[in-house]
Homo-oligomer: A and B are copies of this chain.
Amino acid sequence: MSNSTVATPVKISNQRLYQSLMDLAKIGATPKGGNCRLALTELDGQGRDLVSSWMREAGMTVSVDQVGNIFGRRAGLNNALPPIMTGSHIDTQPTGGKFDGCFGVLAGLEVVRTLNDHDIQTQAPIEVAIWTNEEGTRFTPVMMGSGAFIGKFAIEDILNTVDKDGLRVGDELKSIGYDGSDPVGQRDVGAYFEAHIEQGPILEHEQKTIGVVTGSLGLRWYDVTVVGMEMHAGPTPMGIRQDALYAASFIMQDVVQNALEHAPHGRGTVGSANVFPSSRNVIPGKVTFTVDIRHESAQALQDMHERFKATCEKVAAKHHVSVDIKEVSHFPPTPFNPEMVQAVRQAAQQGGHSHMDIVTGAGHDAVYMASVAPTAMIFVPCKDGVSHNEIEDATPEDLGAGAQVLLDAMLVCAKPVAED
């Protein structure tokens, strides 16, 4: 064994990665080609069993913590070093796809398999994480496992969380055999990388293979209630109406215009709206709707927040309605670690992949991990930007390119040593 560093390219196998994705997708396959493996169901248990068995076959030791997070560990030459970690999740939406989450986990496995193929050891150990309940569909909140890992949630609270049928996370973990005993978090992580499909259309639109994710958009969520006066649509003259929907429409429009004026990283969405009493010939007396604003810059997000509030006040005064705003979520923007981001960018460049910097608008386990470890993410295109949908799709080539960049970026941190 020589201790020379690795000079020749170490290539992952697109085909093996894609085949593993397809094999995992057989568990909870849906008629329309998607996946339904809700967190901590029997199917999630089967998925965990399958991926854990692959980890063991690849020579990794598998451990499970108290909230069911799974860590497959490939020992390093110096196991006192904190691990270089990658991962994602394998739970899905009710009508989810085959790639969201699973790609990040199996790309990590492919990294290990490839290192094994080439008999490469690393100074630092490498870990592949499967985080519990990222989707948050069955149990709230989303990103439960990674959130617990970084100390955002108390373990007892997590274990006592119930689904709509009253079933506890703790009991469901036990019933699928993933009620681990390892402490949750409380250990150092040398670096964290996560590969993921983009879940948006930018890479496809810009014809780039790799998205170098520089951070995540900050997000503020609001519930808005506009109250006017419910009256007959026929006898009530226009001039004296207090039409809650007409008033609300100006706020709704400004949510979008606010984001447009904070391009390119501003987002503004009214996703849900309800009109009362919802009768064809009654002027709406009340409208409730949601507002979702996002930006990568904390200052810009604050500016958007101020403008949104000011718009609500102006509309209330002008249209003689009351406008009540309740903020229901606030996540500040999370810039990723510049060195890790640069490692990803460089890996893409050296691999000859077209690439661009991008910001994630969706939440990911990496966003939590960024608070405890130098973190970066790698995006690959998904067809038409569609995810959380059974028709979610990505090509073996793009997925392979993402896994290759993951490998190369991780090796920068894990310090590879070729065996003879």
Contact = CB atoms under 8 A, between A and B. Distances in A.
B271 A233 contact: yes
B237 A200 contact: yes
A272 interface: yes
A281 interface: yes
Instruction: Count identical subunits in the complex.
Output: 2
Given A234-B217, A362-B232, A270 B256 contact: no
6 contacts: A200-B236, A233-B271, A233-B294, A237-B267, A250-B253, A271-B278
Given A200-B232, A239-B263, A246-B253, 12 more contacts: A198-B235, A199-B235, A232-B388, A234-B360, A239-B260, A245-B252, A245-B270, A246-B256, A269-B281, A269-B282, A271-B279, A272-B278
A290 to B, nearest CB: 4
A259 interface: yes
Contacts of A360: 234-235
B292 A236 contact: no
A245 B271 CA distance: 8
Contacts of A260: 238-239
A266 B290 CA distance: 31
A236 B362 CA distance: 9
Given A278-B272, A284-B271, A292-B281, A240 B201 contact: yes
Contacts of A232: 199-200, 361-362, 385, 387-388
Nearest to A258: B238
A192 B281 CA distance: 26
A273 interface: yes
A249 interface: yes
Nearest to A279: B271
Which 8 pairs, one residue from A and one from B, show the smallest C-beta to C-beta distance?
A: A200-B235, A234-B361, A233-B269, A235-B361, A249-B249, A234-B362, A272-B278, A280-B290
A282 B273 CA distance: 12
A231 interface: yes
Interface of A: 198-202, 205, 217, 219, 221, 231-240, 243, 245-246, 249-250, 252-253, 256, 259-260, 263-264, 266-273, 275, 278-284, 290, 292, 294, 360-363, 385-388
Nearest to A235: B200
Given A237-B264, A260-B238, A269-B243, A231 B283 contact: no
Contact of A263 (B201, B231, B238): B238
Contacts of A266: 238
Contacts of A239: 260, 263-264
A89 to B, nearest CB: 17
Contacts of A256: 238, 243, 246
A212 to B, nearest CB: 15
A361 B271 contact: no
A7 to B, nearest CB: 37
A99 to B, nearest CB: 14
A269 B292 contact: no
A315 B256 CA distance: 15
A296 to B, nearest CB: 11
Nearest to A252: B249
A207 to B, nearest CB: 14
